[in-house]
């Protein structure tokens, strides 16, 4: 039986701007978590708010999700690549996601990079895959959601052990189940 190295996904958010990206960055991390990423690395303006949001949601709804701030993301990405990690850069200039997804590794360390402010040109060469969710400009949250859903698929409750509450799917209301009773 070949030794299958589990897939570990890190989402790297470049260029967070504290004055205009608060909600967008916060939603990006929540989307990363809900759609199966293991970790988010925040860079750009130093801002604890998104990190606090992600930690609070993880504490309530469970799972092993991690997050951290990185002041030098390109240095981090170069080291990640040198250590054998594979870099996926989501960009409208890339090749189509539905062509590329079957070629992506099914195990090992993957970093998925999305931009905010101007993305460094170096990233296009550093990335192992430059992938577009269509070749029109839209949003990092939409791009990440579509890509992660195609790459690792929707995550069910087993992906989020622990926590204090969970949602009971309902056809006509909101049911939040306490796990602490
Ligand atoms: N101003 C940034 C730049 O010049 O590169 C891009 C701004 S865009 C709103 C923010 C991020 O959303 C991009 O860096 C990319 O990661 C993602 N994005 C937007 N449209 C995309 C698309 N069609 N396919 C893949 N990713 C996309």
88 lines ligand 1 (CB under 6 A): no
Examine residue 2 and state whether it is found in any structural domain, yes or no.
Answer: no
Q: pLDDT class for 102, splitting at 50, 70, 90? A: confident
| Distance in Å, CA 176 to ligand 1 centroid | 35
91 lines ligand 1 (CB under 6 A): yes
Pocket mutation for ligand 1, best pick of 24, 25, 97, 137 (most atoms within 8 Å of C-beta): 137
How many whole angstroms separate alpha carbon 73 and alpha carbon 46?
12
**Kind plus residue range of the DSSP H or E element containing 171:** none
The secondary structure of the chain in percent helix, strand, coil, rounded to multiples of 5, reads: 35, 25, 40
Average pLDDT rounded to a whole number, residues 128-136: 97
| Minimum CA distance residue for ligand 1 atom 4 | 118
How many whole angstroms separate alpha carbon 16 and alpha carbon 117?
7
Examine residue 163 and state whether it is found in any structural domain, yes or no.
Answer: yes
34 lines ligand 1 (CB under 6 A): no
Q: What is the pLDDT of residue 181?
A: 67
| Minimum CA distance residue for ligand 1 atom 3 | 118
Domain count along the chain:
1
**Kind plus residue range of the DSSP H or E element containing 2:** none
Examine residue 1 and state whether it is found in any structural domain, yes or no.
Answer: no
119 lines ligand 1 (CB under 6 A): yes
Examine residue 65 and state whether it is found in any structural domain, yes or no.
Answer: yes
114 lines ligand 1 (CB under 6 A): yes
Examine residue 37 and state whether it is found in any structural domain, yes or no.
Answer: yes
How many whole angstroms separate alpha carbon 33 and alpha carbon 9?
10
Q: Please say if the pLDDT value at position 51 is more than 70.
A: yes
Examine residue 23 and state whether it is found in any structural domain, yes or no.
Answer: yes
Q: Please say if the pLDDT value at position 3 is more than 80.
A: no
Examine residue 171 and state whether it is found in any structural domain, yes or no.
Answer: yes
The mean-pLDDT minimum among 10-14, 106-110, 152-156, 164-168 falls in 152-156
| Distance in Å, CA 89 to ligand 1 centroid | 10
CA-CA distances (angstroms) from residue 12 to 76, 97, 157, 174, 180? 10, 18, 24, 32, 33
Tell me which residue range forms the domain holding 109.
7-178
Q: What is the pLDDT of residue 180?
A: 82
Examine residue 79 and state whether it is found in any structural domain, yes or no.
Answer: yes
Which domain CATH number covers 64? 3.40.1280.10
pTM of the model: 0.95
């Amino acid at each position: 039986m070949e030794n299958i190295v589990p897939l570990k996904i890190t989402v790297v958010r470049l260029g967070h701007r504290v004055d205009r990206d608060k909600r967008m960055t916060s939603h990006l991390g929540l989307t990363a978590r809900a759609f199966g990423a293991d970790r988010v690395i925040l860079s750009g303006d130093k801002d604890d708010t998104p990190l606090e949001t992600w930690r609070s949601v993880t504490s309530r709804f469970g799972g092993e999700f991690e997050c951290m701030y990185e002041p030098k993301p390109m240095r981090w990405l170069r080291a990640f690549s040198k250590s054998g990690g594979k870099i996926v850069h989501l960009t409208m200039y890339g090749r189509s996601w539905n062509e590329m997804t079957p070629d992506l590794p099914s195990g090992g360390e993957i970093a998925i990079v999305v931009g905010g402010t101007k993305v460094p040109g170096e990233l296009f060469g550093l990335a192992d895959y430059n992938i577009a969710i269509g070749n029109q400009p839209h949003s990092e949250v939409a791009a990440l959601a579509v890509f992660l859903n195609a790459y690792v698929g929707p995550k069910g409750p087993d992906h989020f052990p622990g926590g204090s509450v969970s949602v009971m799917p309902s056809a006509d209301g909101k049911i939040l189940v306490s796990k602490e009773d």
